[in-house]
Amino acid sequence: MSKNPGQPTITKSPQEKEIKINNLTITYKDNGVKGDPIVFLHSSSLSSDTFENQFSAKEFQNHRLLAPDLPGHGKSKPPSDPDLFYTIEGLTQTMVNWLDELKITNTIMVGHGLGGHLLLSAWPQIQDRCKALVIFGTPPFSKPSFLEHSHYDHPAYSLTYQAKLNNEQLNQLASIFVKKGSLKPRVILESIKKSDPAMRPILGASVSEPANLSDEAENLKHLTQPIAILLGRYDQMVKRTYFDRFEIPTLWRKKVQLIDNAGHCPQIENPTQFNQFLQQFLIDQLI
């Protein structure tokens, strides 16, 4: 039987682990390899499962791969104080605490959507432990912030901050994570179903308050480590032209790298090209 060229070669199954941090139970994947770590952070309402095509890829078999489920996502339990832990500040600090508890250093950090925002927000705290940074589907917050410049006015976008979703709304939300007209991958639907409905409006309220946001664009301007910015060519949420507004001295190849045949989740929709970009970035900058 011939192999499907679009599917990565399976090399090692990740192990699921748990750790308690400040009364939070955080579940995370860890492939157990002894090499330099790559940490993957998922987007809002999704989970670490959305990186299954990276954990199974031959390109990264010599790296330790880790991916946590943020509070209220995936298999991580909802916090007892959602108003504290579901804000952008709360999620950022939880991510930093998780890195501290696992003593993660000398790492490449990869953030998708919200995961990228957490990395950019926490950069002054985590830069000494990072060799490089990769973000995708993450339009950096700036001050002042103008949503019309960074995001398309998609009718389903408001669902990203809505609590309970009926079946129709669940499918509408899932549809904006992929290229228009594409079938919705089961991993996206299942991840949204597992996410705590209380998380979305609390996160939305915290993001809508400029005082709560770090100036991520300013952090990008002062980066000394290399950064790669990836984006699905047909992302229905994030505008590619938005990144032209910022000064990013260490930007890989001096521009945003577009991934063909993909929307907001290129790591799922086109894992072959996504993995090739990530592998080449590591080769160009770190080896």
Residue 111, strand partner residues: 41, 135
- The confidence score (pLDDT) of residue 11 equals 41
166, with CB counted inside 10 A (0-12, 13-18, 19+), is exposed
| Per-residue pLDDT at 40 exceeds 60 | yes
| Per-residue pLDDT at 3 exceeds 70 | no
Residue 95 falls within a domain, yes or no?
yes
Residue 61 falls within a domain, yes or no?
yes
Sequence-ordered strand ranges (E) for the chain? 15-21, 24-30, 37-41, 64-68, 107-112, 130-136, 227-232, 257-259
Residue 119 falls within a domain, yes or no?
yes
Residue 6 falls within a domain, yes or no?
no
Residue 215 falls within a domain, yes or no?
yes
The tens digit of pLDDT for each residue in 141-185 reads: 887 666 678 889 899 999 999 999 999 999 999 999 999 999 999
When divided into structural domains, the chain yields a total of 1
| Per-residue pLDDT at 4 exceeds 80 | no
CATH at 139: 3.40.50.1820
- Residue 279: pLDDT band by 50, 70, 90 thresholds? very high
- The confidence score (pLDDT) of residue 212 equals 74
Domain residues for the domain of 218 are 15-286
- The confidence score (pLDDT) of residue 14 equals 76
Residue 3 falls within a domain, yes or no?
no
Mean predicted confidence (pLDDT) in 113-142: 95
pLDDT greater at residue 249 or residue 145: 249
Residue 249 falls within a domain, yes or no?
yes
Residue 8 falls within a domain, yes or no?
no
